[in-house]
Structure formats: C-alpha cells, structure tokens
C-alpha cells in the first residue's frame, strides 16, 4: 500500500485515495475541429510510462481534493506531490 | 533433439530414474537475420512462432525473450479457460482458443493438462443475475455453452460453496460454462517451445529488445537486442504488460495502460475443489491445481505500475471474499503471492492487428484474461503476420476501432475489476 503525501493533509494511506489516471491531459479547446485520429488519441492514448509518471489522485476519504503525484512506475516510489495547476516538478537526475 | 513422447518412452524414462531425458529445445544463439521475429517468449509468442512454422511454412523464425520463457504472465496467472463473453466478436475469438485447447496436448505431443472442469460465475444481486442471463442468451445464440444454475444447483456442482442467506452478498445462482476449466500454464509454454523448436524455430532467452530499426520507407528493418542486431522484415510484438514500451521503440502509441494483477496459492491439500469459481461482485477467483494448492486470483492495483507485485490490501480483500464463500478454507495458510503486469485497453478487449508501421504486428491488450486465449492469440497473430492481413476472427480487434468507435466493450465479461 502506498503512503501518499496529500499536499493539503500530509501523508496518508492509499486506502483514503482514489486514482485519477494520467495527469496533464487537457481536453482540446476546439474538439469539433479535431480529426477522428486526434480525438481518439486524446480520449484513449496514454503514455503508460515505465519510469517517472505524473498522475492524478483524489483524497476521496479525506479533504476530497484532487492533486498530482509523480511516481516511479518501476519502483512505486513517490517522487513528488503537487497541487493542480502547478507545473510538473523537474526531477534532479539521479540513479534509480 | 527431443523425441516423440509415447507410453514406451515414458516407461523407459521411468526405468532410468527420469535422468535420461534430453533438453526439450535447443538453447539457440541469435543469427544475423530471420524471416520473422516474435518479441516475447510467453505462451502467446511461442504459440505464434509454432503456428508460423506449422501452418504457414515460415521456419526461419526467432522468439526473443528478455528473461526465460514462460517466466512472465504465462507463469503468473490463475490458468482459467473460458469463452462465455458477451459480444459475437469476442465469443468467436475466445471460443476459437477453447477449441484449440481441446486437442492441444495431442497436437503438441505434450500434456498441457487441459481440464474442462467447468467455470462457475456467481451472481450475488438481481443485477448480476440479469447480466449473467443476458450473457447466457447471447452465448446460446453464438453457439457457446453457458447455463444458469440456481443456488442449490451451484452448491451441488461445487460442494464447498456456502449458499447461506447470512452472507453479506448471498449467492443467488450462477452461470456455468462446462467446457471452461484450467490447464497447466508452464506446460503450455514448454509444449509450444518444444514443438516450435522441432520445426526449426530459434528460442532465444536472456535477449532483451532495446530498439526497433526502420528503413527509409518507415518499414521494420531490424531488431536491436542485448545480444546483437537481428535484421528482419517482420516483427510480431507479444510482450503483454511491456507492449507499450516495445511499440514506443517504433514510434507506435496504443491505448494501453499496464497494471499489476495479483494471484496467490495456498498450501497443498487433498482434492477438495472440483471446478473453477469466480465472483465478479465480491471479487474472488478460485480453483485447485493438481498439486493440491488452491489457486486464487485477486484484482489489479488502482494505479499503473511495472513492479510485478501488488499491494497487500488487494489480496487481503480477495481472501476475505474467499473465506466468506468457502468457510472450510479459513484455516488454510497461503504459501506464495505474486504479481504480473497486464496491459489493459479502454474496452477490455485485445488488439491483434497490423500497426501503422509496415512489417510490425501486435498482439496485446489481453488485460487480465490472456491465458485462456493462448492458442487462439498465437494462431491469429501468426496468420496476421504471414498474410499481412487479419483473419476474420481478429479483424474486429484492430487498432482502428478506437478511432472509428467500433469498441467491443467486455468490461462486464472480463470479470476482474479494473
């Protein structure tokens, strides 16, 4: 079970949270102008990164707020947590 | 080189203390080039190589495996086989595999221990009952066996089952596919490897793929591996949870997300469990292996990961359900648990198709239910690679279905909650 650092409440057990999928996927402003390929890519394609992965979590059984987490998908280690609207933190180059 | 197994050869092997068996396939080193290369030496990839050689006469084939064959999801699943999916496309696809399972041991001359002991899916609510009956009717129309059992009939079919009304989610009945069952997962990998090797296929272990090279026209030209460069014009990717990683090497992005899926086994006991029981609602899968261990499937973790392990609370949740449904098992100890990485598509149906890159084919997206499809998936990937066109059974399972909106939504039939 992950220990997730909620930016509002501090570290809490994973059971208090729900997963919200990959972060930083913005809905296209002019959806009707997209081709079918572009729309399908927005709707379905995900980076499925092996390594640092930016993802949304919601503190569903706590403050109720969404926030973003940077987690290494090869180790499940959480590298950073940050609020919605903030830019993805730049990680120092470090050996995993 | 391996010889054919027969009653005589088994007797001779027994009389020599089982010490005289030769290796069942060669430890091949990679050549400079092949007509076709399969990436991923699990059941699906080995089956694809076998059918390429057997049915399409393509014998200059290599299977590249990062670790050892059958060491990924093929050795990490709960070995359940069934074909009672809802839509016509899916039940045709999965039933194709079940029909191949029925004669696989004879075809490969290797006992894969396919055991059609019946798969019983439990209903715990009115909604479950309606959904399962809809599946039963759809399966009937598509010629796939599936029948409704009342709670008492389910108890008669599976005596350890608790059908008491004191349960939080009492058993209202279940859908039974009698042709469903289990097989020995390792034997499937070994049997296909041995049979493919005998037809000339090179099985290359400890050979991680690090890149895919394309020529000036964008077509596949070579595979870069830890054991050197291998030139080829045809590559089939059958890498399960790592499909995205491999396909990204050729610039192909597919709608896949990889999740850890857990399973566990108990200490071995005498035969107590006659069939396979699944419950989607309270999430439990269980069967008993011929070794005597109860084989239990848990669900996926909530988040994408490549760690090949799952969180403890996920397997605990499943064990609570197992203890509720089968009170006899409350004092059993669990021996081992493990995780596999499964690649899940948005509609929970697989992709077996050509990709936008000429010469690159893919068999992926089997999510939590790939083992049951092993012979069928291999057969159809081989067909698609040999003809550069899909078989009619896998034509609907294209990449384009996500663009065209022709999804095959099997979220209800896929059973594992994800």
pLDDT per position in chain B (418 positions), as tens?
467 999 999 999 999 999 889 999 999 999 999 999 999 999 999 999 999 999 999 999 999 999 999 999 999 999 999 999 999 999 999 999 999 999 999 999 999 999 999 999 999 999 999 999 999 999 999 999 999 999 999 999 999 999 999 999 999 999 999 999 999 999 999 999 999 999 999 999 999 999 999 999 999 999 999 999 999 999 999 999 999 999 999 999 999 999 999 999 999 999 999 999 999 999 999 999 999 999 999 999 999 999 988 899 999 999 999 999 999 999 999 999 999 999 999 999 999 999 999 999 999 999 999 999 999 999 999 999 999 999 999 999 999 999 999 999 998 777 665 5
Interchain pair A50, B245: CB under 8 A: yes
B312 touches chain A (CB under 8 A): yes
Query: pLDDT over 90 for what percent of chain A?
Result: 94
B302 touches chain A (CB under 8 A): yes
**B257 closest CB neighbour out of A14, A18, A48:** A48
Question: Which secondary-structure segment (H or E) carries B129?
Answer: helix B126-141
A25 touches chain B (CB under 8 A): no
- From chain A residues 37-56, the ones with a CB under 8 A of any chain B CB are 37, 40-41, 43-46, 48, 50, 53, 55
pTM: 0.96
**A48 closest CB neighbour out of B256, B346, B404:** B256
| Interface confidence (ipTM) of the complex | 0.94
- Pick from B375, B348, B385, B386: nearest CA to B364: B348
pLDDT at B386: 98
Q: Which residues contact B381 (CB under 8 A, 6 or more apart)?
A: B38, B44, B48, B236, B238, B352, B361, B363
Tell me the two tokens of residue B38.
């399969």
Task: Choose from A3, A48, A59, A76 for mutation: most chain B CBs within 10 A.
Answer: A48
Interchain pair A19, B302: CB under 8 A: yes
Count Cα atoms within 13 angstroms, Cβ side, for B4: 6
A75–chain B nearest CA distance, Å? 6
Beta strands in B14-74 (DSSP E): 36-39, 61-64
In angstroms, rounded to a whole number, what is the distance separating the alpha carbons of residues B105 and B183?
10
A51–chain B nearest CA distance, Å? 9
A86 touches chain B (CB under 8 A): no
Q: Are B238 and B364 spatial neighbours (Cβ–Cβ below 8 Å)?
A: yes
Task: Choose from B245, B256, B402, B408 for mutation: most chain A CBs within 10 A.
Answer: B402
| pLDDT tens sequence across B359-370 | 999 999 999 999
pLDDT at B3: 78
Q: Which residues contact B371 (CB under 8 A, 6 or more apart)?
A: B43, B73, B74, B77, B78, B79, B80, B81, B185
């Amino acid at each position: 079970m992950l220990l997730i650092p909620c930016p509002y409440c501090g570290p809490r057990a994973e059971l208090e949270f729900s997963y919200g999928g990959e972060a930083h996927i913005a809905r296209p402003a002019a959806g009707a102008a997209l081709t079918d390929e572009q729309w399908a890519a927005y709707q379905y394609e995900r980076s499925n990164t092996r390594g640092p992965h930016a993802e949304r979590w919601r503190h569903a059984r706590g403050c109720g707020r969404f926030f973003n987490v940077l987690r290494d998908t090869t180790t499940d280690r959480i590298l950073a947590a940050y609020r919605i609207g903030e830019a993805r933190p730049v990680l120092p180059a470090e050996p995993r | 080189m391996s010889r054919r197994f027969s009653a005589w050869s088994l007797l001779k092997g027994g009389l020599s203390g089982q010490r005289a068996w030769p290796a069942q396939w060669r430890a091949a080193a990679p050549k400079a080039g092949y007509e076709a290369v399969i990436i991923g030496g699990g059941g699906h990839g080995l089956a694809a190589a076998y059918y390429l050689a057997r049915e399409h006469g393509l014998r200059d084939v290599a299977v590249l495996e990062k670790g050892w064959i059958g060491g990924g999801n093929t050795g990490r699943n709960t070995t359940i086989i069934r074909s009672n999916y809802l839509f016509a496309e899916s039940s045709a696809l999965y039933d194709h595999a079940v029909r191949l399972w029925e004669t696989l041991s004879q075809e490969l001359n290797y006992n894969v221990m396919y055991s059609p002991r019946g798969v019983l899916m439990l209903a715990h609510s009115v909604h479950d009952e309606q959904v399962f009956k809809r599946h039963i009717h759809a399966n009937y129309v598509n010629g796939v066996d599936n029948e409704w059992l009342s709670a008492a009939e389910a108890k008669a079919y599976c005596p350890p089952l608790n059908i008491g009304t004191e349960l939080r989610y009492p058993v209202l009945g279940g859908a039974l596919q009698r042709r469903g069952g289990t097989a020995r997962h390792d034997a499937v990998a070994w049997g296909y490897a041995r049979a493919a090797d005998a037809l000339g296929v090179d099985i290359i272990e400890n050979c991680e793929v690090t890149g895919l090279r394309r020529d000036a026209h964008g077509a596949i030209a070579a595979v870069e591996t830890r054991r050197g460069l291998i030139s080829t014009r045809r590559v089939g990717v059958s890498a399960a949870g790592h499909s995205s990683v491999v396909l990204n090497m050729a610039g192909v992005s597919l709608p896949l997300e990889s999740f850890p899926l857990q399973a566990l086994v108990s200490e071995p006991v005498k035969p107590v469990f006659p069939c396979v029981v699944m419950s989607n609602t309270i999430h439990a899968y269980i069967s008993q292996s011929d070794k005597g261990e109860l084989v239990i499937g848990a669900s996926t973790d909530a988040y994408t990961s490549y760690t090949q392990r799952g969180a403890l609370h996920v397997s605990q949740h499943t064990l609570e359900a197992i203890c509720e449904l089968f009170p006899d098992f409350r004092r059993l100890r669990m021996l081992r648990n493990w995780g596999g990485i499964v690649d899940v598509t948005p509609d929970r149906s697989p992709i077996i198709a050509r990709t936008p890159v000429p010469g690159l084919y893919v068999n992926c997206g089997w999510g939590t239910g790939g083992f049951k499809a092993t012979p069928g998936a291999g057969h159809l990937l081989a067909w698609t690679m040999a003809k550069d066109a899909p078989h009619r059974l896998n034509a609907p399972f294209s990449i384009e279905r996500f663009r065209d909106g022709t999804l095959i939504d099997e979220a209800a039939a896929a059973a594992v909650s994800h």
